[in-house]
Chains A and B, each alone.
Chain A
Amino acid sequence: MVHIVTEIFAFDFMRHAFIAGTIAAILAGIVGYFVVIRHLAFAGHALGHIGFAGATGAVLFGVTPIIGQLFLTVLAAFGMGFLGERISKSDIAIGVMLAFSLGLGTLFLHFYTAYAGQATAILFGDLLGVSDQAIKLIIILTLLSLFALSFIARPLLFTSLEPELAEAKGISLQLIAICNLMIIAVAVTIASQVVGVLLVFTLLIGPAAIAQQWTSQFWPGLWVSIIVAILTVWLGIVCAWFSDWPISFWISAIIFVLYLLSRLKIQIIGLKFLPINRS
């Protein structure tokens, strides 16, 4: 065991992968929990695709992809929040926007023919190619979004479950929605560095959805979500190391199996009252 760990951590790119992956997992686990309870999964997925247009556009203009991705997703998140629930929860409005973003990304790639590998990296993630600089950026963005989230988490949870009550208590639902979506945009951008824009869904929704199957309260749910996210990323990296298959595949496969087991276990055995379910 120790031998394997030293072997893996002997490489710079593996250390980088673990650092970036762990940070992304923490952020995705936390932000994803709110995404799931607010039923914003599809909006989160769309933000990933919008990031594709942003990243490829940035490449075209000679800017670092993550900068363009961040800019466009945050902008789109602001727009979604501003336009309100009817847009941010509309399958059709989001579907159209999502498809257009992918189309736009394709167009940018068409003009930028020099480096085709870039597209694969953006779409499916390139955790082994994360640079020192990218890690610094990921850390700063994660701290910023967690800082912002720590301010709004309480009203965010309240508006997520009891919007009518929250509104009556004087909370601006729109303001909370905008802040929340912008934080999701940052989390999506960071998570996509690990699993790529197409698989952002797996890291953002998976751990939180699994956590919800096992917990009955906010805090246990949040912790389980973070822990599942971190362990999944670690296991994914290790599996990729041994199998030489893509990390993104392993992460999505682990999430899929865990989710399936959580649902089956709860449904078949009826384990509704596990110790963790009691407050």
Chain B
Amino acid sequence: MQNPINLQQLIPSLTFEHVTLSFNHKTIVENFNAQINAGEFIGIFGPNGSGKTTLLRAILGLLSPAQGKIVVFKNPTQRGNSAIGYMPQSRSQIPPDNFSGIAMVSVAMHGYRLGIPYISAKQKKRIDEVIELVGAKEFAHRPFVQLSGGEKQRLLLAQVMLDNPQILLLDEPLANLDPNSQENLIAIIQQIQQQFHATILFTAHDVNPLLGVMNRVLYMANGNAKLGTVNEVITSEQLTKLYGVPIDVIQLQHRIFVLSHERGEIDHGTHCH
């Protein structure tokens, strides 16, 4: 069931060394140490406000840890590192009504370079490649705003793949998608992971859709974080320790339910933003 990963060639792609990270006077993690290897698929879970997005922003170098350092392929994190691809959870801009999906992907093609937004034949080819990669060829010419949630996410994933990143930070890519589209998107991401030996950091609310593809999980709650396999981390004992309140983890026919004594089910299916 689990994603096969070659244990013979463990290359660290991301290392957290004594990292203390806080945001808005709230501690996200304290003295956090972890190593994520190249080609690993990591699911990041935790309640709203536990700092999943903040952690991703810190990896991008948009936010400095108060203490310690985050190392990306032997170098400290740095803004604009082309080895990292980022798929933000929310977008503040609405594209123009008729702007096509392919046009949306095109604006991200070397968008950080100065000059006029001219797309060379080589760049055009790369754009076609990534659109093909996410299986978006059929609908890439349609207006982006008219596409379904799943179709949009695939094109936004294509944008991320333009620079051929080795690490993908995907922030809640499953939010607001129906189960079918979730499954499709996860399959595409898994294909990218295997084909390019890419490291995937994937935040989500629900553990279940990702059970078959994750190598390890990073669970964040209450200023604590724990990295390990699903069986190590998503247990009543571990989560009770993380949350600081009694938590029950119930396994039911390959599905996992995380329940709090006070508030009922806390993770599954709640896509509140």
Interface residues of A (CB under 8 A from B): 36-39, 85, 150-155, 157-171, 212-218, 221, 272, 277-279
A6 to B160, CA, bound (A): 56
A38 to B92, CA, bound (A): 11
Q: Which residues of A contact B104 (CB under 8 A)?
A: 161-162
Q: Offer 29 A-B interface pairs, CB within 8 angstroms, sorted by A.
A: A151-B115, A154-B115, A155-B112, A157-B117, A158-B108, A161-B99, A162-B108, A163-B92, A164-B88, A164-B92, A165-B111, A166-B111, A167-B62, A168-B80, A168-B86, A169-B80, A171-B80, A212-B98, A213-B97, A213-B98, A215-B98, A217-B103, A218-B103, A218-B106, A277-B100, A278-B141, A279-B100, A279-B102, A279-B141
**Chain A, Cβ-Cβ closest to B111:** A158
A279 to B95, CA, bound (A): 17
Q: Which residues of A contact B141 (CB under 8 A)?
A: 216, 278-279
Flag if B111 contacts A155 (CB, 8 Å): yes
With contact pairs A158-B107, A162-B111 given, residues A212 and B97 touching in the complex (Cβ less than 8 Å): yes
In the complex, given contacts A165-B160, A170-B80, A216-B98, what are 19 additional A-B residue pairs having Cβ atoms less than 8 angstroms apart?
Answer: A37-B96, A150-B115, A155-B111, A155-B113, A155-B114, A157-B107, A161-B93, A162-B93, A162-B104, A163-B91, A164-B90, A165-B159, A166-B112, A167-B62, A170-B112, A216-B141, A217-B99, A279-B100, A279-B102
Flag if A165 contacts B100 (CB, 8 Å): no
Interface residues of B (CB under 8 A from A): 60, 62, 79-82, 84, 86, 88, 90-100, 102-104, 106-108, 110-117, 141, 143, 159-160
Tell me whether chain B's interface is mostly helix, strand or loop, or mixed. Answer: loop
Q: Which residues of A contact B99 (CB under 8 A)?
A: 161, 212, 216-217
Min CB distance A228 to B, Å, is 15
Q: Which residues of B contact A279 (CB under 8 A)?
A: 100, 102-103, 141
A151 to B91, CA, bound (A): 25
A163 to B108, CA, bound (A): 10
Tell me whether chain A's interface is mostly helix, strand or loop, or mixed. Answer: helix
Partner of A154, one of B79, B94, B103, B110: B110
Partner of B114, one of A154, A160, A214, A272: A154
Which of B80, B95, B103, B106 gathers the greatest number of chain A CB atoms within 10 Å?
Answer: B103
Q: Which residues of B contact A38 (CB under 8 A)?
A: 93
Partner of A160, one of B90, B93, B102: B93
A155 to B113, CA, bound (A): 6
A165 to B8, CA, bound (A): 34
**Chain A, Cβ-Cβ closest to B171:** A164
Which of B84, B92, B96, B141 gathers the greatest number of chain A CB atoms within 10 Å?
Answer: B96
Q: Sort A-B residue pairs by CB-CB distance and give the 9 closest, nearest first.
A: A170-B80, A158-B111, A164-B88, A216-B100, A168-B86, A170-B79, A169-B112, A154-B117, A217-B103
Flag if B91 contacts A162 (CB, 8 Å): yes
Flag if A161 contacts B95 (CB, 8 Å): yes
Partner of B116, one of A39, A153, A216: A153
Q: Which residues of A contact B91 (CB under 8 A)?
A: 162-164
Min CB distance B95 to A, Å, is 6
Min CB distance A171 to B, Å, is 5
A88 to B160, CA, bound (A): 28
Flag if A154 contacts B116 (CB, 8 Å): yes
Q: Which residues of A contact B106 (CB under 8 A)?
A: 217-218
Min CB distance B60 to A, Å, is 5
A38 to B108, CA, bound (A): 15
A78 to B114, CA, bound (A): 20
A165 to B96, CA, bound (A): 17
With contact pairs A153-B115, A154-B113 given, residues A163 and B93 touching in the complex (Cβ less than 8 Å): yes
A78 to B40, CA, bound (A): 45
A217 to B115, CA, bound (A): 18
A170 to B79, CA, bound (A): 5
Min CB distance A220 to B, Å, is 9
With contact pairs A154-B110, A154-B111 given, residues A216 and B93 touching in the complex (Cβ less than 8 Å): no
**Chain B, Cβ-Cβ closest to A274:** B98
Min CB distance A80 to B, Å, is 17
Flag if B103 contacts A216 (CB, 8 Å): yes
A217 to B100, CA, bound (A): 7
